[in-house]
Structure 1
Amino acid sequence: MTQMQTRRSGGRAARRASRAAPVTDELRSIRPGMEGGRYGVLTQEQIETIHEAAIEALETIGLADAPPSGIEHMTRVGVKLGDDGRLRFPRAVVDAALQQAAKEITLCGRDPRHDLLLKGNRVHYGTAGAAVSMVDIDGQNYRDSTVQDLHDAARICDTLDNIHFVQRPMVARDIPDNREMDLNTVYACTSGTFKHVGTSFTEPDYVHSALELLHLIAGGEEAWRARPFVSNSNCFVVPPMKFATEACQVMENCINGGMPVLLLSAGMAGATTPSTIAGAVVQATAECLAGLVYVNAVKPGHPAIFGTWPFGLDLRTGAMTGGSGEQALLSSACAQMHHFYGLPGGAVGGITDAKLPDMQAGWEAMCSNVMAGLSGLNMVYEAAGMHASLLGFCHESLILSDDLIGHALRCVRGIEVTDETLALDQMRQVCLGGPGHYLGTDQTLARMQSDYQYPALGDRTSPKEWAEIGKPNLVAKAIARKEEILSRRAAARFDPEVDAKIRAAFNIHLPA
């Protein structure tokens, strides 16, 4: 090998070593809560038109099936109960709720390092979806998901930099009793991650038991209320334009217990919302505005995420199309409506209709994750691991999605244009008597971590290098990474004394 080749090889090795070294948070090219909002699918005129249509829907159509307690709360602030049993919302009532509503929300983690500040265009990605099946990579089939699968998903999320929160991604189908399933879901997630957790409750009475569990984990009710690290994902409506009676009662109990709420309107375009993208956004906006009135009637200013969550539908078959371009447009438009109201909001991104982590899964997940992020969506739910239009969850895809979301976040960050980044001084040094290239310059080395995002598992070797290292397979890498993570005890596991108190009070299905 010549001296020049040795020098080049040594430089390449040094660059690789530098890139592989741990990077402090302030030097990372991406991080939670980066500002999006550079992209909009709607014009300002279109946003205002959708708003006016939503207000008209609330004033003239209204919502049915509110529980008696909800009717009492909402009519007290000016909502009108018609002879047909529907609640109609005057514009002034909606405006008052918008004034009272929380404009900034901090979703706490068990560890404050993972707190998420929701406001403006700050973007966060995480799981969700409540899939009923697990994707078995080895057998290429689907099986019922279990509480152990759920706990393992939380443990994996805890190690992934670009998964910022853990909303229940699957259902523990091995626990037939709904109360025990709800409580074990809380236990499985919170004992697996220090990040914020979102979950739902089947019946109103289960909330009280869950709060008892959370008080034990937090160290008392006062500590819980100071830093609630679990939020309630609440499908408070049954589209079109009806309240979900029991879910509303769950929501009231969560509000009274100090738990943040995700107001989730999950209609399907062409089935439970109008088939047009604009119509689906109008209905979701109207339903969530009604939810906002409800929440602020119960407790003004209570943290509530504006969860316009319409899904796409393949009108040829009636199948959900979470991985479609239409889904990406729906979520991006919803993000703009959140910004219009100045409210923290969430919608979907990253769902794939593909059954396995293949090329289809990649293009579908990246399309909506990038568009949601560029639109400044505060909470991008279902961003990782979701297959078969939310029917299946995959641990390996969750791990691969960490790379995918990393690239999406780099797009969200955008391009900085300053005197330093314009780099005219570098151009002069390199071109006028310099080496004629920028490799290895101080400026290049100084910015290689802060400007560039590098995949953890994605392969960038040459075909020759790839062959020399055994032609590594991406899914095989993800399997190995999963096994390595799960071979260690969960960092977020509870103190043994606390865990013993929990197990004495509740039937915990996970082994100690």
Structure 2
Amino acid sequence: MNNLSPRRTGGRAARRASRAAPLDATIRPVRAGMEGGTLKVLTDVQILRIHDAALDALERIGLAGAPPSGIAYLTGAGAVLGDDGRLRFPRALVEETIARANRKITLHSRDGVNDLHLGGTRVHYGTAGAAVNMVDVHGRKYRESTLQDLHDAARIVDVLDNVHFCQRPMVARDITDNLEMELNTVYACTTGTTKHVGTSFTEPHHVGPALEMLYMIAGGEEEFRTRPFISNSNCFVVPPMRFATESCEVMERCIQGGMPVLLLSAGMAGATAPSTIAGAIVQATAECLAGLVYVNAVKPGHPAIFGTWPFGLDLRTGAMSIGSGEQALLSAGCAQMHQFYGVPGGAAGGASDSKLPDMQAGWEQMCSNVMAGLAGVNIVYEAAGMHASLLGFCHESLILSDDLIGQALRCVRGIEVDDETLALDQMEAVCVGGPGHYLGTEATLARMQRDHCYPTLGDRSSPKEWLELGKPDLVEKAVARKEEILGRPSAARLNPMLDAEIRKKFAIHLKG
């Protein structure tokens, strides 16, 4: 039986300090890779119907636009090139590819501390996107995003417990040369965080120099191939059902260079994908299955994330509705398709259509982040800091999202039911000759940290306490936290000699 006696007051300050100290990752109430999958928005019959429809689409419609190298890889694997230039995929080819695809992928961190083990229903949250603007919370306005903004975002991600990876969330618009911009993106992200990084390339010939830089950072090509700490986010299709020629060539070179690939299909329901939720999932599934065949034709078993990212559309205006309930359903349904195939998958969640970190942003971010997590999406992209339907990124919102995702992960963790948590012995001890309440008992205090996820910046004070504290504003607290983080040197910075070598070889725009 648990000891339910109220604790003595002696040493209270020490106990409070102990409880305030950071918890070991193994006993934190929430952490990366928690098992989701309890939410099922599709029945087994519906999943099979979507699967069959996706296979029908690949066999009957196929995809156009593959580069010559892609045609060679895919026809060599068993795809059929028609007179209309479309590649069609026999069911047997797709099913064989699914059976031999890589089912457990590790997205490595640079320091080995924050590796992400994908598979099953393990859930991870992080940034993504290609926002072209930054949110200025003080002026309530937007400005063009810069390389420094990107580096600062990576530095913020590095210290947030519940933001598990940093896929490039914005474009460095102060660099006009595309090659320099993409090389500086790699540098800015990898020197801002040791967590796993994702990025993209617009031209195939940009991949080689980027890999050269990454091999230098890793300590050699073999070291990078063993633990690739950056992956290629690849929009390999231009929906509907058309390969993106140059992106496919980029993908081939990334695979050959040892970089994991995110197969990203991002159709807009009602514009570049069917307007129905089921139809949008069918098309995204078909496109990603084609991508999976492609990757495995280039290199069997290469790590590839099944990136079904169908987006919602406000059919009244044609504007993206990434913060909608429909978007949350799209991502949750896609999660079940990933699990049906048994391959690591990603989807979008946590982005907002709101322009500022306000109440609309809160409900939109929480809705899709919770549903994606409960559905068991392995990698929830766009989960932190993204506004204006992917057009704006906000550092302060990124910081606030750490609390929000913490609460989402607590929902993912769910309810443990066992002899201890049923707490009958506690009830008896408290009610029969006990203190008549559970405050301060050993049992309550023993679980207060490992069962409860407490916000870092969120306010739970009484109105009186809030007034006495000067009526703190949540966004202002995030501003102060940002200044604190960026006031310290980056923990991911390279050693000076290596940094000098990289700066000698590449046109690095960040100040040393």
TM-score when scaled to structure 1? 0.97
Q: CA deviation at 1:20?
A: 1.6
SS in 2 for 1:278: helix
Residues 489 and 41 (structure 1), Cα distance of their counterparts in 2 relative to 1, 3 Å cut: same
- The answer for the alignment partner of 2:478 in structure 1 is 478
Counterpart Cα distance in 1 of 2:387 and 2:13 = 38
Deviations 1:39-89 (A, max 9, x none): 010000000000000000000000001000000000011100000000000
SS in 1 for 2:113: helix
SS in 1 for 2:125: strand
SS in 1 for 2:263: strand
Are 1:339 and 2:336 counterparts? no
- The answer for the alignment partner of 1:387 in structure 2 is 387
Structure 1 vs Structure 2 CA RMSD: 1.3
Amino acid at match of 2:388: A
Correspondence 1:74-85 to 2 at 5 A: 74-85=74-85
Amino acid at match of 1:191: T
- The answer for the alignment partner of 2:423 in structure 1 is 423
Deviations 1:198-254 (A, max 9, x none): 000010000000000001100110111110000000000000000000000000000
Counterpart Cα distance in 1 of 2:373 and 2:22 = 25
Q: CA deviation at 1:10?
A: 8.8
Amino acid at match of 1:292: L
Q: CA deviation at 1:21?
A: 2.0
Deviations 1:99-125 (A, max 9, x none): 221000000000111100001000000
Deviations 1:88-146 (A, max 9, x none): 00000001111221000000000111100001000000000110000001110000000
Deviations 1:360-384 (A, max 9, x none): 0000000000000000000000000
Amino acid at match of 2:82: G
Q: CA deviation at 1:13?
A: 6.7
Deviations 1:299-329 (A, max 9, x none): 0000000000000000000000010000000
Correspondence 1:285-434 to 2 at 5 A: 285-434=285-434
Deviations 1:172-217 (A, max 9, x none): 0000000000000000000000100000001000000000000110
Counterpart Cα distance in 2 of 1:15 and 1:339 = 43
Alignment length (residue pairs): 506
SS in 1 for 2:380: strand
TM-score when scaled to structure 2? 0.97
Q: CA deviation at 1:16?
A: 5.0
Counterpart Cα distance in 2 of 1:428 and 1:214 = 61
Residues 369 and 12 (structure 1), Cα distance of their counterparts in 2 relative to 1, 3 Å cut: farther
- The answer for the alignment partner of 2:173 in structure 1 is 173
Deviations 1:123-171 (A, max 9, x none): 0000001100000011100000000000000000000000000000000
Q: Would you say the 8 A contact 1:239–1:266 is kept in 2?
A: yes
Counterpart Cα distance in 1 of 2:238 and 2:11 = 61
Q: Would you say the 8 A contact 1:11–1:440 is kept in 2?
A: no
- The answer for the alignment partner of 2:447 in structure 1 is 447
Counterpart Cα distance in 2 of 1:184 and 1:68 = 30
Q: CA deviation at 1:18?
A: 4.5
- The answer for the alignment partner of 1:3 in structure 2 is none
User: After alignment, is 8-17 or 186-195 more displaced?
Assistant: 8-17
- The answer for the alignment partner of 1:93 in structure 2 is 93
Amino acid at match of 1:219: G
- The answer for the alignment partner of 1:191 in structure 2 is 191
Q: CA deviation at 1:17?
A: 3.9
Amino acid at match of 2:146: T
Correspondence 1:53-92 to 2 at 5 A: 53-92=53-92
SS in 1 for 2:192: coil
SS in 1 for 2:135: strand
Counterpart Cα distance in 1 of 2:327 and 2:14 = 43
Counterpart Cα distance in 1 of 2:48 and 2:453 = 37
Point out where structure 2 has 5 or more consecutive residues left out of the alignment.
1-6
Counterpart Cα distance in 1 of 2:160 and 2:402 = 6
SS in 2 for 1:99: helix
Q: CA deviation at 1:15?
A: 7.0
- The answer for the alignment partner of 1:42 in structure 2 is 42
Counterpart Cα distance in 2 of 1:158 and 1:470 = 30
Residues 136 and 8 (structure 1), Cα distance of their counterparts in 2 relative to 1, 3 Å cut: farther
SS in 2 for 1:25: coil
- The answer for the alignment partner of 2:254 in structure 1 is 254
Counterpart Cα distance in 2 of 1:363 and 1:9 = 41
Sequence identity, in percent? 75
Point out where structure 1 has 5 or more consecutive residues left out of the alignment.
1-6
- The answer for the alignment partner of 1:4 in structure 2 is none
Counterpart Cα distance in 2 of 1:254 and 1:449 = 43
Residues 44 and 464 (structure 1), Cα distance of their counterparts in 2 relative to 1, 3 Å cut: same
